[in-house]
Structure 1
Amino acid sequence: MEEEANVEEIKKQNKQLLDEFEQELIDKKLSAKTIYKHVNNIDFYINTFLLYDEFVEAKKGTLFIGEFLGYWFIKKAMWSSVKQINENATSLKKFYTFLYKRGDIRKETLDSLKERIKLEKPQWHVEMRRYDFPFI
């Protein structure tokens, strides 16, 4: 019962974050298609992946980027591809930059996230190709 209440509270917080993130993207004059893509990518990350097993708040989600893009997304998202990994990485950088500007995460946390994406993305691509073509 307590876990359900905790998940509902996190989902409520996530809705607020997604609304504010979407407004920031609108304010930056991004196209409706681009805004839709980023918001949907982040919604999937914070409301599906981060709540899948452990019920992690969005602001603590930087710790799980590698697990998400290097394994979970590849295995669980039917639409996963190298292109989608790249798009999700971009969305995650934008979202966590937004959280940094809000004061929800520290600069070191944001920098670490960006560095991890830069360093690990080639391996995520390898894992995606290996998943798509296991016998090559």
Structure 2
Amino acid sequence: MIINPSKKALPLFNYLPKAADKKLARSFSDSNPLFSWHANYFNVKRKKILLLVNDLTYFPIVLVGIDAKNKKQLNEIIRTAIKEVFQAAKIPQQKIIDYLDLAGEIEVSAGYNRVITGIINNMITSLEYHERFNLDVLIDIKLSIDLADSVFKESFPLDELRKVFKEPLVLHDISQEDLEENVVKRDWKSLADCKAGDLSEKEIDEALANNQRILKAFQQYLEQHEKVTKKTVNRQLSTIEYYLSGYLIFYGFNQAISTFAIISDFFSWGARKNLWISESAVKKAGSSMKKFYQFLIAAGEVKESDMPEIREQIEMGVDDGSMTLMMMADWY
């Protein structure tokens, strides 16, 4: 079983074994979402409320008062909580035993699925709004079931859990092919080989077609690897389309993956072109650029060792873009 805590919640799990290979753990979670959970916590009257949410069904488990003392027993607490809350959800006893046997030992990786993270945040908001906490129990069975019997992502997690347990439980093995599927397969002309600047009409059409192949692969990367929402995918694709087809096609594709200095200029250029109307929008564009360069690393266009310099250029660009917006506002 894999637990994928948020960065904030990770210290609560420091007595549990960490996954030796995060890429392998992530592949396991993607292939076996029923045996994978995301986690985060929030505070109520100085007590940490730990929320676990199943990756497949979005079924929640609420643990109350996880502190420095009882987090040492978190392995046993989680397994006991699954057993007791699943029983309350009317899952057959033998099915619960089979689930825990198949799940195996708990390993801790890192939160990565933005959709589930969003659901956790919505659940926390709901819990804080209704304030129905029993601070005298460690495993809040009633609150877990009540939360599961609410709508998240157009479904009831309680119904989804019961539906899954009506089918045979299967644990999928992770093969080398599964790991290789996480690597981006490049079917476009390398940016290093693309011409820019003074192009003929035919060359412009070829460059734009190549950019569309890159954008399609980037979309698949965001949806399958980053697990971000559709809204985020669309926003990031829009930013990168401007970068590829509005900016690099004139200023140089090869510089985007060689000197990197061209990256920072993109943001002030975008501000002057009214691509963004606020500092917040410029910062979101910076996040999109970071994702795009992580995608280029996965595709073999950029070396991972270049990422610190790329981040620095993006941060400089965000500052320049924000400053350009301020100056333009003063002019008008």
Q: Give me the TM-score of the superposition, normalised by structure 2.
A: 0.36
Tell me, yes or no, if the aligned pair for 2:264 and 2:316 is still in contact at 8 Å: no
Higher RCO (C-alpha under 8 Å, 6+ residues apart)? 1
| Conserved 8 A contact 2:270-2:321 | no
Unaligned runs of 5+ in 1: none
Deviation at 1:18, TM superposition (A): 0.5
Matched, 1:104 2:293: no
In structure 2, distance between residues paired with 1:107 and 1:119? 20
Q: Indicate the percent of aligned positions where both proteins have the same amino acid.
A: 22
Whether 1:75 aligns to 2:252 is no
Moved over 6 A (4+): none
* Counterpart secondary structure, 1:50: helix
The 10-residue stretch of structure 1 (1-10 or 99-108) with the greater mean CA deviation from structure 2: 1-10
* 2:279–2:322 Cα contact (<8 Å) kept: yes
TM-score under structure 1 normalisation? 0.82
- Letter in structure 2 aligned against 1:95: F
Take 1:10 and 1:118, find their aligned partners in 2: how far apart are those partners?
28
Displacement, 1:120? Answer: 4.7
Answering whether residue 247 of structure 2 is matched by residue 49 of structure 1, we say yes
Q: Does 1:93 align with 2:316?
A: no
Structure 1 pair 23–120 and aligned structure 2 pair: CA distance change class (3 A):
closer
Give the Cα separation in 1 of the matches to 2:218 and 2:328: 32
Larger Rg: 2
Q: Cα offset for 1:80?
A: 3.1
Q: Deviations over 1:51-109 (max 9, x none)?
A: 2x34x33x64243222111x211111254321121111111110011001110112343
Number of positions where the alignment pairs a residue of Structure 1 with one of Structure 2 = 131
Are residues 120 and 78 of structure 1, via their aligned partners in 2, closer, same or farther at CA, if it must alter by over 3 Å? closer
Larger fraction in strand: 2
Where does 1:1-136 land on structure 2 (aligned, <5 Å)? Answer: 3-27=200-224, 28-51=226-249, 53-54=250-251, 56-57=252-253, 60-61=255-256, 62-69=260-267, 71-77=268-274, 79-134=276-331
Note closer, same or farther for the CA distance 1:12–1:60 as it changes in structure 2 (3 Å cut).
Answer: farther
